[in-house]
């Protein structure tokens, strides 16, 4: 039997965007992920669902609960009303929280940005989804059966973020493996990916997020550098803002700070937190009790003396923030209308303070703009109508939840696939992998698929 897999990228753009992949394998039609493109608004942020056609979908599989992978699931699920949704146990708990938060953001943006189609779904839609979740343990397989054929699906822990999985699809002796977003090295709060050596891999679908980034420092060294900046800031009486993604990054930084406190590497000062990151804490705590791969317990909040930051009334024109203090706040890219955005505005004009970015900042976001212009004289927070001189120290740390390109390349080569499909990356990131494979693994088929085009593999 030749080429049993047909894959079709339903993302509208060839970038990280709204992840959604249609896979046909024998008589089965599967959709992996249903993301929302964070760089676009309204209907522009959806995958191209029209490419699904009229044929029924047998199964939806989610790799993890970041919105670029699940943000449009309530919409897809209505187009595939009978398809069970295969997820890991942590994802079954996190996805509804993430989607309900997304609903609230869309309701706000409907007025602020005048987007009539918002919200794209309701809380009742999210509730309906939960009944359709079919949970699998890591390493556990599920067999689909139809028309005398069967396909087996197995999920393996992918590191990256709580609940993230890589997916192996086996059909009549053929194997297709999807890395999803993946990190091989351990984080403080989560073990790295645990992927077995596959014996006859036909197709490897490889995420390429960091293909255009050369790692310049080890994760452990970056953590030490961050702790050192925090210490220096607090010692001179300043405030340190760490804007971080709500899902995964906030919890990872809490564990990092807790470990530092136990070894006297973190000075005593109030730590303020707020936002979605804190709403997810209970799930991290619950999974910390159940899964050996998760190192998180809510008791560290008490040990760190975490205080909830009251969301309202932070206005850079009038607010005087408590100092010295650490502000660990959701919105890794300083999105407008978040406490992180307003607190950055409050802190920027004083050289005692520091702003520490710990993840990727898209250049179009306020965080990305601030990083790009950190050597300028002033910076304007447009949404607050506030311009400040750039005096605080602005730092960027490489603490990504994605594997770096050399680790991913090594992984791909060692799995000996017959074909590699490049996904989840900007064009230059994909190109780095294409060049590496062409140079060092000639004979390996490498596909950088065009969006919307079906490929037989
Ligand atoms: Zn992710
Ligand atoms: Zn992603």
- Burial 171-199, CB ≥16 within 10 A → b, else e: beebbbbbbbbbbbeebbbbbbbebeebe
pLDDT at 428 over 90: yes
Q: In angstroms, what is the span from residue 19 Cα to ligand 2's centroid?
A: 7
Q: Is the pLDDT of residue 88 over 90?
A: yes
pLDDT over 90, % of the chain:
89
pLDDT at 274: 87
Q: Of the ligands numbered here, which is closest to the C-alpha atom of 64?
A: 1
Residue 266 φ then ψ, to 5°? -125, 120
Which listed ligand is nearest to 98 at the C-alpha? 1
What average pLDDT does the segment 189-210 reach?
Answer: 96
Distance 381 CA to ligand 2 centre (A): 27
Q: What pLDDT digit, counting tens, does each position of 383-427 carry?
A: 999 999 999 999 999 999 999 999 999 999 999 999 999 999 999
Q: What is the mean pLDDT of residues 263-282?
A: 93
Ligand 1: centre distance to CA 64 (Å): 7
Query: 219-396 sits in which CATH class?
Result: alpha beta
Regarding beta strands 203-207 and 419-423, do their DSSP bridges make them parallel or antiparallel, or are they unpaired?
parallel
Whole-number mean pLDDT of the chain? Answer: 95
Ligand 1 mean position, distance from CA 70 (Å): 10
Q: 61: CA distance to ligand 2 center in Å?
A: 14
pLDDT for position 2 = 67
Residues 48, 232: Cα–Cα separation, whole Å: 49
Calculate how far, in angstroms, residue 185's C-alpha sits from the geometric centre of ligand 1.
15
Q: How far is the CA of 8 from the centre of ligand 2 (A)?
A: 17
Q: What is the mean pLDDT of residues 84-102?
A: 98
Write down the domain spans for the chain.
Answer: 5-213+401-456, 219-396
What is the distance between the alpha carbons of residues 301 and 298, in angstroms, rounded to a whole number?
A: 6
Q: How far is the CA of 352 from the centre of ligand 2 (A)?
A: 35
Calculate how far, in angstroms, residue 354's C-alpha sits from the geometric centre of ligand 1.
27
Ligand of minimum distance to the alpha carbon of 17 = 2
When pLDDT is averaged across residues 4-15 and rounded to a whole number, the result is 94
Residue pLDDT, tens place only, 230-267: 999 999 999 999 999 999 999 999 999 999 999 999 99
Picking from 373, 310, 24, the residue whose alpha carbon sits closest to that of residue 174 is: 24
* Two domains, one topology: 5-213+401-456 and 219-396: no
Burial code (b: 16+ CB inside 10 Å, e: under 16) for 359-368 equals: bbbeeebbbb
Ligand 2 centroid to residue 16 C-alpha, Å: 7
Residue 1's pLDDT is 56
The pLDDT-based confidence of 337 (bands split at 50, 70, 90) is confident
- Give me ligand 1 centre to Cα 217, in Å: 22
Higher pLDDT residue, 15 or 261?
Answer: 261
Does residue 57 carry a pLDDT above 90? Answer: yes
Ligand lying nearest the CA atom of residue 210? 2
In angstroms, what is the span from residue 443 Cα to ligand 1's centroid?
31
Contact yes or no for 343/238 (Cβ under 8 A): no
Ligand showing the shortest atom-to-Cα distance for residue 68: 2
Q: What's the CATH number for 5-213+401-456? A: 3.60.15.10
Ligand 2: centre distance to CA 70 (Å): 10
Q: Kindly tell me if the per-residue pLDDT of 455 is higher than 90.
A: yes
Distance CA 258, CA 301 (A): 9
The answer, yes or no, to whether residue 311 has pLDDT greater than 80, is no
pLDDT tens across 369-380, in order?
Answer: 999 999 999 999
- Quote the pLDDT of residue 314: 86
Distance 103 CA to ligand 2 centre (A): 19
Average pLDDT score over residue span 320-348: 93
Task: Tell me how far the alpha carbon of residue 94 lies from the centroid of ligand 1, in angstroms.
Answer: 13
């Amino acid at each position: 039997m030749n080429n049993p897999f047909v894959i079709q990228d339903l993302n509208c753009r060839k970038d990280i965007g709204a992840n959604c992949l249609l896979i046909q394998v024998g008589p089965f039609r599967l959709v992996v992920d249903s993301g929302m493109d964070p760089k676009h608004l309204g209907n522009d942020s959806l995958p191209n669902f029209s490419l699904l056609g009229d044929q029924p979908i047998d199964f939806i599989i989610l790799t993890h609960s970041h919105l670029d992978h699940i943000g449009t699931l309530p919409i897809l699920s209505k187009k595939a009303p009978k398809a069970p949704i295969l997820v890991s146990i942590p994802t079954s708990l996190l996805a509804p929280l993430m989607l309900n938060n997304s609903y609230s953001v869309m309701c706000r943006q409907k007025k602020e940005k005048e987007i009539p189609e918002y919200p794209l779904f309701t809380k009742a839609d999210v509730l309906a989804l939960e009944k359709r979740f079919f949970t699998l343990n890591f390493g556990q397989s599920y067999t689909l059966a139809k028309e005398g054929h069967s396909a087996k699906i197995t999920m393996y822990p992918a590191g990256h973020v709580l609940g993230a999985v890589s997916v192996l699809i086996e059909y009549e002796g053929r194997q297709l493996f999807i890395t999803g977003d993946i990190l091989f090295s351990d984080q403080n709060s989560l073990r790295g990916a645990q992927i077995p050596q596959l014996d006859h891999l036909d197709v490897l679908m490889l995420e390429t997020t960091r293909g255009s980034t050369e790692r310049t420092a080890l994760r452990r060294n970056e953590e030490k550098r961050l702790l050192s900046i925090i210490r220096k800031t607090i010692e001179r009486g300043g405030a340190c803002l760490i804007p971080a993604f709500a899902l995964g990054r906030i919890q990872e930084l809490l564990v990092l700070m807790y470990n530092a406190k136990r070894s006297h590497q973190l000075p005593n000062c109030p730590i303020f937190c707020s936002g979605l990151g804190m709403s997810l804490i209970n799930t991290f705590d619950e999974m910390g009790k159940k899964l050996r791969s998760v190192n998180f317990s809510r008791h560290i909040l008490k040990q760190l003396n975490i205080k909830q930051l009251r969301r309202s009334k932070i206005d850079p024109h009038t607010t005087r923030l408590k100092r010295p203090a650490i502000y660990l706040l959701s919105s890794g890219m300083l999105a407008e209308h978040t406490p992180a955005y307003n607190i950055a505005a409050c802190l920027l004009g004083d050289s005692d303070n520091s702003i520490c970015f710990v993840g990727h900042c898209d250049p179009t976001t306020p965080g990305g703009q601030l990083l790009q212009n950190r050597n300028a004289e002033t910076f304007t927070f447009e949404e607050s109508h506030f311009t400040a001189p750039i005096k605080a120290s602005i730092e960027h740390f490489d603490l990504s939840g994605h594997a770096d390109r050399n680790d991913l390349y090594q992984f791909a080569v060692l799995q000996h696939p017959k074909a590699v499909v490049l996904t989840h990356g900007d064009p230059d990131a994909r190109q780095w992998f294409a060049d590496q494979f062409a140079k060092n693994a000639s004979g390996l088929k490498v596909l950088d698929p065009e969006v919307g085009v079906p490929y037989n593999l």
